[in-house]
Structure 1
Amino acid sequence: MNAYVKLDRYKQELAKIYSHRSQNYDESEWHSQITHRLVASAQIKPGDKVLDIATGTCHIAIEVAQLVGNNGRVVGIDISSGILEQARKKVAQLNLTNIEFQLADGENIDFPANSFDLIFCANAFPLMAEKAATLRLCLSFSNLVVA
């Protein structure tokens, strides 16, 4: 896991906002509703390897981890260390061992080609500066992106 990620001023501000919101981020029903819709539409299979960009407090990552099972893997990335701290607490309480988290910028990630069967980016895509470049980058890691 990265202890530090280089961010421009805009993303530093976003990370700060989400770290500040991390304590009450899960109080919104909206996140659960979006999660269920996205995950249901993705047709996830046991054993799938999934990347969750801007995982937040890992609503999608948790639901996906339960679907992919022990032979699958979920990697959640986010620019906010505070939000990832909350995500780790949730995963520990649920005793899920097939999720890992990384402090990373979804527009500047580096994974080997075809590392994932599926990539989610539920709420952060509209906030990304280089949408087309980010999609091209993600498609180098997977053939299917759900944004």
Structure 2
Amino acid sequence: MTKAQAFVWDAYLDAQKRADRKQVGPNYWSADQTADRILDLAEAGVTPISPQAVRKMARNLRRNLAATERRRKAIELARYAPLQEFVTASPEARADALFEWERVCGQTTRVEQRLLQQVGFGFTYGEIGAAAGLTEKAVELRVARLRLRLAA
């Protein structure tokens, strides 16, 4: 085993040690993914300069992956929380919500209904605009006009 391989192996073992903790969350997930990526580097024949460079690369990778996982979880929670509230609501509340949605569907087109759903699920105007090929301001204006029309 060369020195470079030893550096990679040490970084892999450190990532595995971090991933073997009993907590399950972004930090565990990122350490596990870091270990996998370190193995990919070793298999690709990448030669690190020093053990410090490998540790720094692994630390940065772990931090970035953990932050990505936290953002993904927050977005997932924001998008599905309204749906969870609907599912756990009383039958009367669900009936009221469905009645209101039917009223909205009677006054809007399918495109407007989809726009309302995307806003309700927590997508930003920028995300909606990117998917629809519109600017953020155009989506904001459409939502504002739609809200005014439905409130009348």
TM-score by length of 1: 0.29
The one of the two structures with greater contact order (alpha-carbon pairs below 8 A, sep at least 6) is 1
TM-score by length of 2: 0.28
Q: Which structure has more helix as a fraction of its residues? A: 2
Structure of larger gyration radius: 2
Q: Which structure has more strand as a fraction of its residues? A: 1
